[in-house]
Structure 1
Amino acid sequence: MDVCRILERERCAPVCRFTEANSEGIMTYLRTLLLAGVAAIGSPAYAQQVMYVAGPGGSTQKLIQAQIIPEFEAKHNVKITYVPGISSEIVAKLQAQSGKQEINVAIVDDGPLYQAIQYGYCDKLADAPVYKDVYTFAHFGGNGIGIGLVGTGIAYNKASFEKKGWAPPTSWKDLTDKKYSQRFTASSLSGTYGVHTLVMFARINGGDERNIEPGFEAIRKDLVPNVLSWSSSPAKLAEMFQNNDVDVAVWGSSRAIALKNTGFPIEFVYPQEGAPALVLGACPVVQNSAPEASQAFLQYLVTPEVQAKLASEGLGPTNRLTKLDDKLAAGVPYGGNRVGNMIPMQWNEINKKRAEWTNRWNRTIER
C-alpha cells in the first residue's frame, strides 16, 4: 500500500513528506485510527435506529413531529421519519411493500386499520400495563391500539351563518336544506368521513351498514345538489372554508378544532341523531426492522401525558386516566357522557362491501 498516496488523499501531504522514511510507523498510526473509528460507529452514540412512522398529515402531523416524536427519540436513541398520508393511501403502501415493509408504525383511521389487520400487515401488540387503561372499544383485537377519538359531525362557519341569519345546524337532515346549495362539502367515500356520511344517511332513513340503499338514495336526491365538491384532503377542505367557498361541511371534531386554533370562526356540532366515532388507531407493522422501538412507540402514544398533547389538536383521549382542563375537554370527545353517546361503526360489515360501495359512489354520486 502507498502510504503517502493515502495521506495525500486525506490532504496530509506535509505529514507524508515529513515521515516518508517511517512508513511503518504511519501504518501503525492509521490502523489505530481505523480501529477507533470502528469502535465509535459501534457505540450507542452512532448506533441510532431509524424508524418510519406513517400517519395523518396537517395539524396532527405538526403536533406529532414537534411535541411527541422528539422526546421519544431522545429516550430511545432512535431517529423517526414521519410519512404523512390519508389512511387509505397508507394501507395501499403497506400492500405495495408487502414482503419488504419500510413502514414500522402505521397510524390510520379505524376502518382502514381493520383492513390492514385483516390483510396481515399488523403485528401483535406486546403486553404492556398502559393498555389496561385504554377504553375497550379502542382495542383492535390485539393487533392495534386506538390513540385518539374523533367525532364526525357538522362544521360550519359561524361568522357566515350569522351574516346570513342562519340558525346553526343541529341534525344530519339539516344538511339537505336548499339554502346550502353549492355551499356544502364533505369527504368522498375514499375517506372515513365520507363512509360515516353514507352510513348516517342510511340510518336516519331506515337503513344501516347492512342495508345501505337508503343512504345512497338520500344522498343522491337530497344532498348532492348542495355539494360544491367532494374532497378527502383535510388541507383542501380547510382551504375551502378559508376561501369562503363553503359555509358547512361534514368533518371531524379534530379537524374543526385545528382550524379554529388558527383563529377561523368555525364551530363543530354533534348532531342530535348521534356522531359516528372515529378511532385513530396505530399498529406495529409486520416484518419490522425496529420491532422493539415500534412497540415502545405505541405504548408511549397512549400514555396520559401524550394523550393530553393529542387532545390539543382535537383528538379525544382513549386512555381513561388522561386529565384535561375544562376548555380542552369541551372541544373533544371526553368523559363518559360524550364518549358513551357516540355511534360505533360496524367496520366488519362496511369493509365487506366498501369496494362495491366505492364503485357505486363513483358512478352515481361523485360524477
Structure 2
Amino acid sequence: MKLSCSNTYTARRSLLSLAAAALALSAGAASAQTKTLYIGMNGGVMEKTWTEHVFPAFEKANNVKVVVVPGTSSDILAKAQANKDKPQMHVMFLDDGVMVRAIGMGLCEKMKPSPALNEVFPTARFKGDMATGVTMGMTGLAYNKKMFSEKGWAPPTSWMDMADPKFKGKVVFQSLSSSTFGLHGFLMFNRIKGGNDKNVEPGFAAWKSSIGPNVLEYIPSSAKLSEMLQTGEAAIAPLTPTAVATLQEKGIAVEYAQPKEGSVVLMVAECVIANNSEPALAQKLAEHLLSAEAQAAGLQHGNQIPSNPKAPAVGDDAKARLKQFGDYMKTAVVVDWDAINENRPAWNARWNRSIER
C-alpha cells in the first residue's frame, strides 16, 4: 500500500522529531557527565597560567571543568577549614608553611602513588606524602632598578640593607600574619639579630630601631607592590625571583637580589582535600599537576620553577631561569615550620599589636 504525500510528510516529520529528541538526550547526558573540580590557589599570574595553559589538557582528557577559587594561602586555608565536614574544594595550593598547618588540621588526604609523584624532587614531598610541592622558589629581595640607577645606589646584598637610612619611607613589607614573604623577611632579620625560628625576641626587640622606621606601608600581599614600584613609592621589598620575573615581563623596572645571608626556600604545594566529593578525579588532577608536561607549561608561560626535574625548559630564557635557581639554592635556607606554626598565632597577634598598629 502506498503512503499519500501527506502521510509521507508526517512520517518524515516524526522521524526528524525523534532524531532531534535523541540528539538532545545525548547532549544532555554528555553535559550531565561533565563534572567540576574546584581548586584553591593564588589569583593573578598563577591562576592565569594554570587556567590557560595547564588545566585545558586535563579537562579535555577527563571531560571535567577545573574552576579556580582564588585567594592567598591564608584565605584558602580558612575556606577549607570552614567547610571541613563538607568540602567545597577538591584540591588546594598553599605555601609550604601553611600546608604544614593544613595537614595538621586533617584537611589533606594522602596522595596516591604515581609516576609523577616519584619524579619530583625528594625535598618537595611532605611527610607521609600528604602534600607535594608543585613550584619551587625562595624569598629574597626585590629592588626598584630605575630608582637605584637614578640615585647611584649599588644593588642590595643583605637583608639588613632594608635598615639603611637612605631607604626611609621606601621599604614595603608584607604583613607577617598574611604573607609568607613578610614572615621570611622577618625571620631572616631575627636570625641576623641572634634569634632563631623558636626565639623571635631579638627580631621584635630590634625591629623598631632598625627596619621599622624605613617601612612606608605594611601590605597584606604582594599584589600592590607592582603599582608601588611603578610609581616610585617602593625601593626595596622581600619577594621571590619568580614574582620579579613576572613584573619584568610587564615592563616594570625591578631586579632580584640574593642576600648574602641566604634566601628562604619557598614552595607552593598541593594537597587533595580530605572527604571531597570527587576523590578519584581530585587525585588524578593532583597527579597531572606534578607531571613534566604540566610543569613545563607552568615554567614557559608563568615563570613557575618546576618541582619535577624532568619538566623540559623551552627556550633560552627558561633554561637560564632554571640555572639561576640552582645557583640561588646553594645559599638558600630552610626554616623550621613545626616551630613556626606552633608559635605563629602569638607572633601574629604581637606583630599586629606592636608593629602594624
Give the TM-score of the pair, scaled to structure 1.
0.87
How far is the alpha carbon of 1:321 from its aligned partner? Answer: 2.1
Match of 1:105 in 2: 91
Percent identical residues: 34
Distance 2:25 2:310 in 1: 46
Three-state SS of the structure 2 residue aligned to 1:221 is coil
Q: Where do 1:305-344 residues align within 5 Å?
A: 305-312=293-300, 313-324=302-313, 325-331=315-321, 336-344=326-334
Q: Aligned partner of 1:321: which letter? A: K
Three-state SS of the structure 1 residue aligned to 2:133 is strand
Distance 1:232 1:326 in 2: 34
1:156 to 117, 135, 143: 143
Q: 1:338 to 1:156 in 2, by over 3 A?
A: closer
Q: Which deviations, in whole Å up to 9, do the C-alpha atoms of 1:115-155 show, x marking residues without a partner? A: 11110111110110111221121112211110101210110
Distance 2:319 2:346 in 1: 38
Q: Where do 1:33-72 residues align within 5 Å?
A: 37-38=24-25, 40-43=27-30, 46-72=32-58
Q: Aligned partner of 1:260: which letter? A: Q
Gaps of 5+ in 2: 1-5
How far is the alpha carbon of 1:270 from its aligned partner? Answer: 1.1
Q: Contact between 2:258 and 2:328, CA under 8 Å: does it hold in 1? A: no
Report which of the two structures shows the higher radius of gyration computed on alpha carbons. Answer: 1
Deviates more, 1:245-254 or 1:98-107: 245-254
Q: Aligned partner of 1:348: which letter? A: D
Q: Which deviations, in whole Å up to 9, do the C-alpha atoms of 1:306-357 show, x marking residues without a partner? A: 2223234333221122333543244457665433432111111100000000
Three-state SS of the structure 2 residue aligned to 1:345 is coil
2:156 to 157, 161, 169: 169
Q: Which deviations, in whole Å up to 9, do the C-alpha atoms of 1:259-289 show, x marking residues without a partner? A: 0111111100111100001110011111112
Deviates more, 1:120-129 or 1:213-222: 213-222
Q: Contact between 1:314 and 1:332, CA under 8 Å: does it hold in 2? A: no
Distance 1:274 1:172 in 2: 9
How far is the alpha carbon of 1:40 from its aligned partner? Answer: 4.6
Deviates more, 1:160-169 or 1:329-338: 329-338
Q: 1:335 to 1:252 in 2, by over 3 A?
A: closer
Match of 1:353 in 2: 343
2:274 to 250, 262, 286: 286
1:275 and 2:263 correspond: yes
Distance 1:338 1:309 in 2: 22
Q: Contact between 1:117 and 1:143, CA under 8 Å: does it hold in 2? A: yes
Q: 1:176 to 1:157 in 2, by over 3 A?
A: same
2:207 to 207, 219, 240: 219
Q: Where do 1:93-132 residues align within 5 Å?
A: 93-132=79-118
How far is the alpha carbon of 1:159 from its aligned partner? Answer: 1.2
Q: Contact between 1:149 and 1:333, CA under 8 Å: does it hold in 2? A: no
How far is the alpha carbon of 1:38 from its aligned partner? Answer: 4.9
Q: Contact between 1:55 and 1:82, CA under 8 Å: does it hold in 2? A: yes
Gaps of 5+ in 1: 1-17
Q: Contact between 1:257 and 1:331, CA under 8 Å: does it hold in 2? A: no
Q: Aligned partner of 2:220: which letter? A: S
Q: Where do 1:61-100 residues align within 5 Å?
A: 61-100=47-86
1:198 to 171, 183, 186: 186
Q: 1:326 to 1:216 in 2, by over 3 A?
A: farther
Distance 1:261 1:88 in 2: 27
How far is the alpha carbon of 1:162 from its aligned partner? Answer: 0.6
Distance 1:335 1:238 in 2: 22
Distance 1:188 1:331 in 2: 28
Give every structure 1 segment of 4 or more consecutive aligned residues whose post-TM-superposition deviation is greater than 4 Å.
28-40, 332-337
Q: Which deviations, in whole Å up to 9, do the C-alpha atoms of 1:181-225 show, x marking residues without a partner? A: 011101101210111012101111111101111122232221111
Distance 2:330 2:221 in 1: 29
Pairs aligned (count):
344
Q: Contact between 1:149 and 1:278, CA under 8 Å: does it hold in 2? A: yes
Q: Which deviations, in whole Å up to 9, do the C-alpha atoms of 1:12-52 show, x marking residues without a partner? A: xxxxxx99xx9xxx9x9999977775555334x54111010
Three-state SS of the structure 2 residue aligned to 1:52 is strand
Q: 1:352 to 1:254 in 2, by over 3 A?
A: same
Distance 2:238 2:283 in 1: 34
Deviates more, 1:306-315 or 1:61-70: 306-315
Deviates more, 1:187-196 or 1:316-325: 316-325
Q: Contact between 2:116 and 2:292, CA under 8 Å: does it hold in 1? A: no
| Root-mean-square deviation over aligned CA pairs | 2.4
Match of 1:266 in 2: 254
Q: Contact between 1:333 and 1:339, CA under 8 Å: does it hold in 2? A: no
Distance 1:309 1:289 in 2: 28
1:238 and 2:226 correspond: yes
